[in-house]
Amino acid sequence: MQDPVSQLPSLRQTLSKLDLRAKKSLGQNFLLDTYITDRIAQAAAPFEGSVIEIGPGPGGLTRSILLQGAPHLIAIEKDKRAVSYLEALQQAAGTRLAVMEADALTLPVWELGQQPRQIIANLPYNIATPLLIQWLEHAPAFTKMTLMFQKEVAERIAAKPGDSNFGRLSVLCNWLTFSEILFEVPASAFTPPPKVTSAVIQLIPRQKPEFDCSLKHLEKVTQIAFNQRRKMLRASFKQFGGADMLASLGIDPQSRPQELPTEYFCKLANHLATQIE
């Protein structure tokens, strides 16, 4: 018996009929290429527990996730127009799909559904990084996150010490997750096409952080270090003891932040905890 979801009219046909256009104010770029949406869903499978999709828009990726066998999908959409548009898909999917009209930035998605819980999203680029930081704070609540970012942001997330694009986001993601860029997505896969290439990245949360320290203190230390990334660390941390303090932790005072392994950022966070509250 065929899945009723597969019997729905194509996305392009329905979009044309309902005149649903992407809103620039919401950072929308609709992903309509079924080859790409299927690849994302296949990369996130197998599905158990609850799948949370952020910003489904007209439901292209939503369809692929359902057809890939997700037993319980929660789609969170801020745009009222898209929520209405998703009604036909919800009827076809039955109890497998729940659509919530909500702002993902203010919603504790780590409390939704049942474990094992994972997130899949073609993220609006204007809120992608703040959303990721939120989810990293609750990383143990998820088994995996399969996310679409601008290519340059995905590269920063997956960057390693010594890479030119290693930065704050790299440190936090390396500390809390294992990350891998899966594939690039051309602008032509979207309507309207963005001005940048995108990339799908998968993050698998570690059972516990790689090194012991507070996320709040690590965020602060990386902010200080990368605020002027071309500066040597001794200059960035001058008010906290500069070269002597760094040397006492086994850190070369003349090194730059993009050269420093995550372990040493954690050492800095622990050492300076009382001074950077």
- Quickly state the pLDDT bin for 1 (edges 50, 70, 90): low
* Same domain flag for 191 and 59: yes
Side by side, which strands form the sheet with 117-122? 97-101, 73-77, 50-54, 117-122, 144-150, 198-205, 177-185
The answer to the question of residue 210 being in a domain is no
* Same domain flag for 179 and 57: yes
The answer to the question of residue 53 being in a domain is yes
* Same domain flag for 78 and 140: yes
The answer to the question of residue 231 being in a domain is yes
Return the pLDDT at 277: 66
* Same domain flag for 241 and 144: no
What is the distance between the alpha carbons of residues 153 and 159, in angstroms, rounded to a whole number?
A: 10
Return the pLDDT at 17: 59
Q: What percent of the chain has pLDDT over 90?
A: 75
The answer to the question of residue 92 being in a domain is yes
Return the pLDDT at 30: 80
* Same domain flag for 52 and 167: yes
- Quickly state the pLDDT bin for 177 (edges 50, 70, 90): very high
What is the distance between the alpha carbons of residues 48 and 132, in angstroms, rounded to a whole number?
A: 22
Q: 91: buried, middle or exposed (CB in 10 Å: 19+, 13-18, 0-12)? A: exposed
* Same domain flag for 158 and 32: yes
Please say if the pLDDT value at position 39 is more than 80.
yes
- Quickly state the pLDDT bin for 194 (edges 50, 70, 90): confident
* Same domain flag for 72 and 136: yes
CATH number for the domain that contains residue 236: 1.10.8.100
What is the distance between the alpha carbons of residues 95 and 138, in angstroms, rounded to a whole number?
A: 27
- Quickly state the pLDDT bin for 245 (edges 50, 70, 90): very high
Return the pLDDT at 12: 74
Boundary (domain end) residue, out of 205, 223, 256: 205
* Same domain flag for 76 and 183: yes
Q: What is the total count of domains within the chain?
A: 2
Cβ proximity of 156 and 193 under 8 Å: no
Boundary (domain end) residue, out of 205, 236, 253: 205
Boundary (domain end) residue, out of 157, 186, 205: 205
CATH number for the domain that contains residue 95: 3.40.50.150
Residues whose CB falls within 8 Å of the CB of residue 25, separated by 6 or more in sequence, listed in order: none
Domain span including residue 225: 215-271
For 231-249, what is the mean pLDDT? 95
